Structure 1
């Protein structure tokens, strides 16, 4: 395994991890926004 291959593999793993992490953060953000909206609607009712 050459250094180039190792670097490419590491970059791919890092990119995949970052994509998964950002998707998770995005989902958590949407959930928190929905929760805040539900609280506001409940407060108005």
Structure 2
């Protein structure tokens, strides 16, 4: 889906443990990357 002509983008990161993944999500969610706020979530299908 695109908003204002810009791609939302997507990325996948693997972590050593669920605890580390949860911590990374809490720390990174809402941060700015290249001037845009990022939405970080756990992929429950992984």
Determine if the TM-score, normalized by the shorter chain, exceeds 0.5: no
Point out the structure with the larger strand share: 2
Which structure has more relative contact order (CA 8 Å, sep 6+)? It is 2
Structure 1 or 2, whichever has the larger Rg, is: 1
